[in-house]
Structure 1
Amino acid sequence: MRIGLLGTGPWAERVHAPVLAAHPGLEFAGVWGRRPEAAEALGAAHGVPAHHDLDKLLGEVDAVSIALPPSVQAGLAVRAAEAGCHLLLDKPVALTVPDARAVADAARRHGVASVVFFTVRFGGDQIPWIARQAELGGWFTGRSDWLGSVFAPGSGSPYAASPWRVEKGALWDVGPHALSVLLPVLGDATRVTAVAGPLDTVHLVLRHAAGASSTLALSLTAPVAGGGTGMEIRGEHGVAHLPERGEGPIAALHRALSALQSAAATGEPHACDAEFGLRVVEILAGAERSLASGGPVEV
């Protein structure tokens, strides 16, 4: 599979480009970015050409790996699907429901495979855990804390300069991670209630279609000493805790790209495809409406 990279920022430089260059089943064919000089530098670092003409790159590859802000990603993903390219998407797929639906519709209409890179869903220990808990069923409630410190004093995060994270906060940045695990285990959400906490912190309460409920605590401004992630579910089989992540995003992206290859080869949609990405955006948008209205929102 010949694959091109769209994006040149820290996520593209630190994660996407090294994995595309190292993955044994891929041919890293080129880089496109909104800043041509950055595309040139990133391409040179991996021995691949930089493309200033996006349509030319799309015409030369079988797939694209997108590492761009969600507001930019959506339109380019539609454009890539129209060119017949399979899609490795970042989360969230978009920042509005119409934009996310346009991506899912384009992938379906043009018959291209899609995988959304929810890092936890592609973790080595997390994949079998999620599958096992979904198989067991009988879960009563769940809790997920995703307390990041991107914007906390002394964090030093390379993503603190990300304009969309500044604008949209934890709900849209780390909320997708929590939902990507809770939904396959507890079932689709039908109702969301959101309450604002300190700074960008948001607390969500979800009602799930099968009857379970869950709570989420999301932040990018938690004190460094008080940050961290954790998830537990409780039900007929007792208490289960999501395994701690013992590896970084590099290994997870390798698995996500292999999943894209498999979906493209077999025609079988992956569980984390653009349709699932759309569902996550619908729930996040519902949470935003709940914050504005002060009450529960059907999703």
Structure 2
Amino acid sequence: MRIGLLGTGPWAGWVHAPALAAHPGVEFAGVWGRRPEAAAEIAAAHGVPVFDDPAALIDAVDAVSIALPPAVQAGYAVRAAEAGRHLLLDKPVATCAADARAVAAAVRKTSVASVVFFTLRFAGEQSGWLAEQAALGGWFTARCDWLGSVFTTDSPYAASPWRREKGALWDVGPHALAMLLPALGDVERVTAADGPGDTVHLVLRHGSGASSSVTLSLTAPPAAAVDGVGLELRGEHGVTRMPARDEHPVVAFGRALDALASAAGGGGAHPCDVAFGTRVVEILAEAEAALRIGH
């Protein structure tokens, strides 16, 4: 499978490009970005061509790996799907439900394969733990914390305009939902409250009858963000906690590439396809609306 990379930001350079270059089952076919100098730097690092035009890259490949801001990603994903190209997207698929649904509609129309890279859904230990809990069932409630200090440190993502605008709800909220939904079921009702900085607190009612609470932040003090990612489930079988993260995201991205190749080869839709990614966007949009009206 020939895969082209759309995007040249820190995540593209740190995860997408190295994973594409290292994967034995794909050919890293080239890079396009809105900043030509950044595209040239990534291309030179991995010995692949630079494309001056995204349409030319889409024409030259079997699939695209997109590492663009979500509001931009959706439009390029529709263009690639309509051209018959398989999609490996970042979370969130978009920052409004209509845009995400447009991507899902294009995927359905052309029957291309799609995978959305929710990191922990492709991390070996965490994804295995989640599969076990989803199969076990009987969960009564859950608590998820996803606390970072992106905007209170020298993180390379601190300058990201879309993260500044949309905050933790849209940046790390997709990760939390991607782990909660398989274990507790779809979300039927969302309550939201804001906290300090971009901190958001969610209370979710799930289709299984279970409830969950989620705390999200990119503005936590660095000391408060130490071990700031956690998920705890409580139910009929007791209490279980998600294993700590200990794997580089490039490894997880390699598994996402495997998943895309399997889906494209007739292996069936992956659980983290664009339909699931669209549902996550819909829930986040409901939470954002709840924040605006204060409940």
Q: Name the structure 2 match of 1:194.
A: 192
Q: Name the structure 1 match of 2:88.
A: 88
Q: Name the structure 1 match of 2:214.
A: 216
Establish whether residue 9 from structure 1 lines up as the match of residue 9 from structure 2: yes
Residue 89 of structure 1 deviates from its aligned partner by: 0.2
Partners of 1:28 and 1:109 lie apart in 2 by 26
1:117-137: per-residue Cα shift (whole Å, max 9, x none)?
000111110111111100000
Residue 142 of structure 1 deviates from its aligned partner by: 0.3
Pairing 1:171-210 to 2, within 5 Å after superposition: 171-210=169-208
1:86-141: per-residue Cα shift (whole Å, max 9, x none)?
00000000000000001111111111100000001111101111111000000000
Q: Name the structure 1 match of 2:264.
A: 264
Q: Name the structure 2 match of 1:245.
A: 245
Partners of 1:148 and 1:39 lie apart in 2 by 28
Q: Name the structure 1 match of 2:40.
A: 40
Superposed CA RMSD in Å reads 0.8
Partners of 1:114 and 1:31 lie apart in 2 by 19
Q: Name the structure 1 match of 2:135.
A: 135
Which residues of structure 2 form unaligned runs of 5+?
Answer: none
Partners of 2:209 and 2:89 lie apart in 1 by 31
1:155-206: per-residue Cα shift (whole Å, max 9, x none)?
2200000000000000000000000000000000000000001110000000
Establish whether residue 234 from structure 1 lines up as the match of residue 234 from structure 2: yes
Partners of 1:146 and 1:247 lie apart in 2 by 17
Amino acid at match of 2:181: L
Partners of 2:248 and 2:202 lie apart in 1 by 27
1:254-280: per-residue Cα shift (whole Å, max 9, x none)?
111111111110151100000001000
Partners of 1:129 and 1:85 lie apart in 2 by 32
Q: Secondary structure at the match of 1:48?
A: coil
Partners of 2:183 and 2:56 lie apart in 1 by 42
Pairing 1:265-280 to 2, within 5 Å after superposition: 265-280=265-280
Q: Name the structure 1 match of 2:163.
A: 165
Identity %: 70
Query: 46-55 vs 160-169, which deviates more?
Result: 46-55
Q: Name the structure 2 match of 1:289.
A: 289
Residue 37 of structure 1 deviates from its aligned partner by: 2.2
Q: Secondary structure at the match of 2:223?
A: helix
Partners of 2:42 and 2:133 lie apart in 1 by 41
Amino acid at match of 1:143: R
Pairing 1:146-161 to 2, within 5 Å after superposition: 146-152=146-152, 155-161=153-159
Q: Secondary structure at the match of 2:115?
A: strand
Which residues of structure 1 form unaligned runs of 5+?
Answer: none
1:206-259: per-residue Cα shift (whole Å, max 9, x none)?
000110000000000001001111110000010010111111211110111111
Q: Name the structure 2 match of 1:52.
A: 52
Partners of 2:245 and 2:272 lie apart in 1 by 19
Q: Name the structure 2 match of 1:255.
A: 255
Q: Name the structure 1 match of 2:71.
A: 71
Conservation of the 8 A alpha-carbon contact between 1:113 and 1:267: no
Amino acid at match of 2:232: E
Q: Name the structure 2 match of 1:24.
A: 24
Residue 35 of structure 1 deviates from its aligned partner by: 1.5
Q: Secondary structure at the match of 1:225?
A: coil
Amino acid at match of 2:203: V
Conservation of the 8 A alpha-carbon contact between 1:3 and 1:61: yes
Q: Secondary structure at the match of 2:29?
A: strand
